[in-house]
């Protein structure tokens, strides 16, 4: 007789893992041929610089994210789909200097010589590329530019240029289509930065993000954001997004927005933190210069729900941390977090049990998941302790026969108060003798 004939213990695993939505990863979207996948993840700026030059917009934005302290554990760079043809331009002519084009990891490098011209450097690179074995053909345009085309149409090839060269690509899809394809490939990112400052591109990205549980931040150098009143401004990107009442897109005014990415820096500051534990205001952005504004300019920008970055009392801070609609960025992110965790918790109950019975006990199991998220929301600082939250669920006996037959649990609700944040303080005092 074995011991199990007397004592039989069996343990059933209820450990099915449910994928959790992440709120700590930014996606930098650009037009490039740096890598074959539509999206690639990086853990530090050094790994980004394996695929990009330090002056490339994607690398500049990534550096702004990784420069903050504490920093994110990773970020993603996505690429828009591009056509076959790419046009390389010799943009800076320097004697006795190496110029290179790296295709699919193979570097083609030439010396410019003692008396170079843009066409002579281009001709050297064309000859070197065509003398190699990469399945890409270079065509000299005889004007300091040359085309790159795959030998087989619609075949991807990666490109990395040295200093002194620029490249132009043609996109083959809309921004919405590109973002949808990137999300289908990997949707574990949350905050979007787009390297384009073209207003039509920004509006297209904002329109797409508005339909998703994500956040998009951009920056603009349009002077009218700060120089015109809210009633007079109908043309700037801040005015346009505000008029559309976008709740998932925000604008930061910065006069150097053409070459820097304050929004990437802000994501770098807040995304490492737990949703509910921070506000988007009063944040110092490492590596970003402050903007000098008059009080009128400050008022004009903030009236358009446009964020600013300025020095106040010797400290560089963001204000006010809002999206275009006027809601606070941290509120949108916290509500997204709360929704995601409730969905995940309830789903985990459903998939880890043989069944959740349509009884008071089964309903209580669903209620417990909602309560757990709300309690965690208090611990994170997103939900106020007072007044206390409440969760309402029906009694099984009160549920309609139709709902029971369809196995649907309805009439579940909760009430909670956001803790908010203090952004301004007024003190009135009286001193007597």
Inter-residue contact 302 to 308 (CB < 8 Å): yes
Q: Which two tokens stand for residue 24?
A: 């700590």
Q: According to the 3-state scheme, what is the secondary structure of 159-227?
A: EEECCCEEEEEEECCCHHHHHHHHHHHCCCCCEEEECCCCHHHHHHHHHHHCCCCCEEEEEECCCHHHH
Give the pairing type, strands 26-30 and 191-194.
parallel
Nearest CA to 208 out of 232, 163, 173, 238 is that of 173
Tell me: pLDDT of 6 over 50. no
Nearest CA to 153 out of 82, 84, 81 is that of 84
State residue 373's pLDDT score: 96
Question: What is the C-alpha separation between 161 and 56, in angstroms, rounded?
Answer: 10
| Band of residue 167 on the pLDDT scale cut at 50, 70, 90 | very high
Cα torsion 153, 149, 82, 155: sign: positive
State residue 335's pLDDT score: 95
Q: What is the mean pLDDT of residues 263-279?
A: 97
Buried b (16+ CB within 10 A) or exposed e, 131-148: eeebebebebeeebbbeb
Tell me: pLDDT of 16 over 70. no
Residue 11: CB atoms within 10 A of its CB come to 5
Tell me: pLDDT of 289 over 60. yes
State residue 106's pLDDT score: 97
Tell me: pLDDT of 10 over 90. no
Tell me: pLDDT of 104 over 70. yes
Q: What is the CA radius of gyration of the chain?
A: 27
Tell me: pLDDT of 410 over 70. yes
Tell me: pLDDT of 9 over 80. no
Tell me: pLDDT of 11 over 80. no
Give percent of the chain with pLDDT exceeding 70. Answer: 95
Question: What is the C-alpha separation between 258 and 195, in angstroms, rounded?
Answer: 9
Inter-residue contact 209 to 249 (CB < 8 Å): yes
Q: What is the mean pLDDT of residues 46-70?
A: 97
Q: What is the mean pLDDT of residues 246-264?
A: 98
Tell me: pLDDT of 348 over 90. yes
Nearest CA to 217 out of 304, 290, 323, 300 is that of 323
Q: What is the mean pLDDT of residues 89-98?
A: 98
Question: What is the C-alpha separation between 75 and 87, in angstroms, rounded?
Answer: 29
Question: What is the C-alpha separation between 380 and 298, in angstroms, rounded?
Answer: 32
Helix (H) or strand (E) holding 59: helix 57-66
Helix (H) or strand (E) holding 110: strand 106-111
Query: What DSSP character marks residue 418?
Result: B
How many residues are present in the chain?
A: 433
Report pLDDT digits (tens) over 309-343. Answer: 999 999 999 999 999 999 999 999 999 999 999 99
Give 26's contacts (C-beta < 8 A, 6+ positions apart): 65, 72, 75, 76, 189, 190, 191, 192, 193, 264, 267, 268, 271
| Band of residue 1 on the pLDDT scale cut at 50, 70, 90 | low
Helix (H) or strand (E) holding 175: helix 175-185
Q: What is the mean pLDDT of residues 278-288?
A: 97
| Band of residue 22 on the pLDDT scale cut at 50, 70, 90 | confident
Query: What DSSP character marks residue 246?
Result: -
Tell me: pLDDT of 7 over 60. no
Q: Which two tokens stand for residue 179?
A: 């973002």
Tell me: pLDDT of 255 over 60. yes
Q: What is the mean pLDDT of residues 203-217?
A: 97
Residue with tokens 């009128």: 296
Q: pLDDT higher for 77 or 433?
A: 77
Question: What is the C-alpha separation between 130 and 112, in angstroms, rounded?
Answer: 18
Tell me: pLDDT of 378 over 60. yes
């Amino acid at each position: 007789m074995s011991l199990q004939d007397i004592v039989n213990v069996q343990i059933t695993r209820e450990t099915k893992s449910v994928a959790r939505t992440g709120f700590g990863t930014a996606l930098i979207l650009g037009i490039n041929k740096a890598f074959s996948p539509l999206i690639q993840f990086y853990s530090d700026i050094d790994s980004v610089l394996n695929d990009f030059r330090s002056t490339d917009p994607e690398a500049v934005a990534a550096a702004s994210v990784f420069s903050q302290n504490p920093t994110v554990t990773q970020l993603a760079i996505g690429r828009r789909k591009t056509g076959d043809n790419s046009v390389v331009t010799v943009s800076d002519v320097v004697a006795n200097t190496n110029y290179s084009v790296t295709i699919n990891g193979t570097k083609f490098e030439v010396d410019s010589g003692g008396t170079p011209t843009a066409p002579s450097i281009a001709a050297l690179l064309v000859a070197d590329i065509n003398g190699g074995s990469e399945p890409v053909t270079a065509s000299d345009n005889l004007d300091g530019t040359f085309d790159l085309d795959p030998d087989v149409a619609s075949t991807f090839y990666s490109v990395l240029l040295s200093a002194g060269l620029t490249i132009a690509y043609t996109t083959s899809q809309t921004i919405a289509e590109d973002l949808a394809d990137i999300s289908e490939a990997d949707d574990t990112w949350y905050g979007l930065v787009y390297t384009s400052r073209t207003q039509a591109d920004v509006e297209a990205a904002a329109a797409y993000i508005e339909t998703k549980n994500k956040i998009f931040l951009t920056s603009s150098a349009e002077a009218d954001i700060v120089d015109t009143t809210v009633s007079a401004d109908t043309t700037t990107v801040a005015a346009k997004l505000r008029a559309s009442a976008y709740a998932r897109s925000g604008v930061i005014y910065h006069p150097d927005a053409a070459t820097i990415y304050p929004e990437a820096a802000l994501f770098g500051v807040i995304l490492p933190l737990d949703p509910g534990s921070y506000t988007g205001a009063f944040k110092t952005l490492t590596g970003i210069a402050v903007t000098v504004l008059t009080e009128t300019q400050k008022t004009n920008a903030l009236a358009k729900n446009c964020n600013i970055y300025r020095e106040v009392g010797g400290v560089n801070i963001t204000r006010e941390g809002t999206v275009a609609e006027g809601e606070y960025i941290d509120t949108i992110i916290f509500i997204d977090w709360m929704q995601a965790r409730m969905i995940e918790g309830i789903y985990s109950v459903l998939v880890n049990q043989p069944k959740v019975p349509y009884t008071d006990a089964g309903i209580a199991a669903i209620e417990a998941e909602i309560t757990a998220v709300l309690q965690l929301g208090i611990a994170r600082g997103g939900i106020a302790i007072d007044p206390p939250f409440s969760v309402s669920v029906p009694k099984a006996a009160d549920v309609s026969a139709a709902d029971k037959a369809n196995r649907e649990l309805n009439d579940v609700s909760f009430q909670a108060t956001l803790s908010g944040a203090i952004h301004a303080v007024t003190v009135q005092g009286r001193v007597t003798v």
